[in-house]
Amino acid sequence: MSNKRKSKLENPAISKWLMIATYIAGSFGYFMGFYRQSTSQAESIAWVAGLSVGVVGILSMVRHSIFNRSDAIRSGWDQGVRNNFQIEVGFANLAIGVTAIASIIWNWGQIAQSAIILIYAIYFFQVAILTLIDRKNGRINFVRFLIMLSQAALLAYFTY
């Protein structure tokens, strides 16, 4: 691989923009979920499943797996080599995201979509716990903890 191509894949700006796109997709899914909640419970859940789980899961896979070095550098986790575990996390996000989108395309219904949302809520709750355990210099990254806990709570809310 050429140095120019390698440096593009390692540029933390790529994963930063993918992270921003993830926040936008997830936020819009929650917005539409709350907006549609009073008129259609099924539509409300479908918006969250499609955007806050489906699109977020797929974008997270791209960031964690395809641009793994970029994401590792952005996150401060760069080990100087490819981290297969980070790529595996991306694959898990892809599996959940694609399943959420499939549940909408093939009209699996509200119960299946709620179950998929719950799976992602449990995943993010575990990430929040890991954030509490993984301390740098004895300090907790409260911003990351609150983001992960908020994500888990919002997802769990839409599993009714």
Give the tens place of pLDDT for each residue, 24-63.
999 999 999 999 999 999 999 999 999 999 999 999 999 9
Q: Specify if 6 maps to a domain.
A: no
pLDDT at site 44: 97
Q: Average pLDDT for residues 71-79, to the nearest whole number? A: 84
pLDDT at site 51: 98
Q: Specify if 50 maps to a domain.
A: yes
Contact 19, 74 (CB under 8 A): yes
Q: Average pLDDT for residues 5-13, to the nearest whole number? A: 78
Q: Specify if 39 maps to a domain.
A: yes
Q: Give me the domain span that covers residue 95.
A: 11-157
Q: Specify if 68 maps to a domain.
A: yes
Q: Specify if 79 maps to a domain.
A: yes
Q: Specify if 111 maps to a domain.
A: yes
Q: Specify if 60 maps to a domain.
A: yes
Helices 84-105 and 68-75: crossing angle, nearest 10°?
110
The type of residue at 96 is I
Q: Specify if 120 maps to a domain.
A: yes
pLDDT at site 4: 54
pLDDT at site 77: 78
Counting the structural domains of the chain, the total is 1
Q: pTM for the full model?
A: 0.91
How far is the C-alpha of 60 from the C-alpha of 108, rounded, in Å? 24
> Is the pLDDT confidence value at 2 over 50?
no
The type of residue at 41 is Q
What mean pLDDT value characterizes the chain?
92
Q: Average pLDDT for residues 73-95, to the nearest whole number? A: 89
- What φ, ψ does residue 139 adopt, rounded to 5°? -105, 145
pLDDT at site 5: 56
Q: How far out from the chain centre does Cα 130 lie? A: 15
